[in-house]
Structure 1
Amino acid sequence: MAQTLEQRRRNAKFVKDQEARRGKSEEQIKKRTKEAAKSPISMFWLVILGFVIFGGLVFEALSRFFGL
């Protein structure tokens, strides 16, 4: 079965990570992984959430101000 694009991308990332680990001790590897902590939510969803919350507040303030 042929690899999909996603599988090829993940395999390339795995190979790159394994080559970076080669010749290093466990302490150095653990130290490196702690520094690379990622946010559990993407920036896209944070912007959407902010728009929904603050956009709703702005529209509500405008409607109360102008009495629509």
Structure 2
Amino acid sequence: MLKARGVMTVSNGVTAVRPNLSSERRLRPQKAKTTKKIVLRMECSECKNRNQLPIKRCKHFEIGGDKKRKG
């Protein structure tokens, strides 16, 4: 099977082939995320059905704590 060397575009009845640059570019390594997604896990007391609700992404999370204030 042959590998495609370019991307074909058709515009106004004219076919053009432009080089595929995505394979020629160097890809940067993906940086790992330092934060976790905080998930609220709720469970029904009658049927024990569980529901997960994502809240936000942060390093530290506290429910019902004092708010941090500037100054």
Report the TM range for the smaller structure's normalisation: under 0.3
Structure having the higher helix fraction is 1
Larger radius of gyration: 2
Which one scores higher on RCO, CA 8 angstroms, separation ≥ 6?
Answer: 2
So what's the TM-score if we normalise by structure 2?
0.22
Structure having the higher strand fraction is 2
So what's the TM-score if we normalise by structure 1?
0.22
